[in-house]
Amino acid sequence: MFVAALWLAQMHLIIWTCNGFTPRFNTPPKPLSTNVNNSRHRGATTATMMVPIPLEELSNLLDGGGTTDIPFKESNLILSALTSETSGEVAKAAVITLLFGGGLIPSAIDANKSLIGTLRGKRRGGEDSTSSTYIQSSDAVGPPLPNSFLLFPAETIPLVDILAIVGRIDDFNSIADWKNLDSVKLSSSASVAPPMWLPRGEFKKNVRSAKWKGWPKDSKTGEPVGGKDLEREEGRRIGKANVVIGDAALDAIFDSWAWGSSVATPDKVQTTLTLYKKSDGSFDLDQFVQAAARGRAVTGFAALTFVFIQLIAYCCLFIAPLLRVVFNIDIGFGVLGDCDGTCTSLF
């Protein structure tokens, strides 16, 4: 009897604890009697309450065919989360990701690679890399170009390389035959003046093959630029025909009047040359560094503008909607995405 009573107490505790998982009966079960003589009936009643639900009835209940007190159906996270509003948000996010992510993001990655290559690379546009070999160093001796860091070059620019270029230029007609450029020959308009566009690669080829006119003199002191010692050491080498000149120095000269473009026009070349190449043939080094820095600043400003445009686009399409939907934070970019409840505005 003691064992039976203990077993009955355990079953009472289990039934009371798991009451939410027991099925409803059409008639409530009879209350258990406290009489010891009714222990047989208590055992029968308990056995009746522990009968499991048939699989067919359980399937109908889970399919929503009737009411049930089964708590795990109501607490299912997936079923409770998939409402019509959340389904629309998920579909909208998927469409935006496929529409913009499929074309915008790969193109942006490629454009940023080109941007970094333009800022740090050795080719700056306007020349054919297959026909001309990039010269990284001319093995020139002497100091570097003052404040050349403003040009963010790919390598060090020797002052001698700059002098080797300036010593071959008198005026804007010294760097190209403007009337016989390819842009002039290909022009089909006879009534309008044809465009005179000098590509970067052609400029480099013309300067390297140009005749040496002498070591440039300082416009302020009249002394050789860089000093007489540097002239004696490097004057003969850079005065030779087809001298080796580094591409970084040629790019610095070209960018001083091209302002980030891949081609130069005679009016810009003439205007810029008069700033640092005087009529008496002297050379103003400070004016040249300033002109070259201004030319490269155009490229730097264009790079910053491109990054800013990307930031605005990504904030409107991806970052701001994500912050609204997930963190309930509104940063003020676009209208995509809705906050779930109170939205905290940062701006």
First to last CA, the chain: 76
The pLDDT score that the predictor gives to residue 37 is: 44
Distance CA 266, CA 180 (A): 13
Looking at the predicted structure, is the pLDDT value of residue 169 above 90?
yes
Distance CA 61, CA 264 (A): 80
Q: How sure is the predictor about 263, in pLDDT bands with cuts at 50, 70 and 90?
A: very high
Strand, helix or coil for residue 122: coil
Tokens of 142: 């002497």
pLDDT digits (tens, 9 = 90+) for 285-321: 999 999 999 998 888 888 889 889 888 888 887 788 8
The pLDDT score that the predictor gives to residue 63 is: 54
User: Per mean pLDDT, which range of 142-151, 156-165, 190-199 is the poorest?
Assistant: 190-199
Looking at the predicted structure, is the pLDDT value of residue 133 above 80?
yes
Looking at the predicted structure, is the pLDDT value of residue 261 above 70?
yes
Tokens of 225: 């630029």
User: Per mean pLDDT, which range of 24-28, 51-55, 241-245 is the poorest?
Assistant: 24-28
The pLDDT score that the predictor gives to residue 249 is: 94
Q: Are 250 and 168 in contact (CB under 8 A)?
A: no
Domain ranges for the chain: 2-62, 125-297
Strand segments (E) across the chain: 198-199, 263-264, 329-330, 344-345
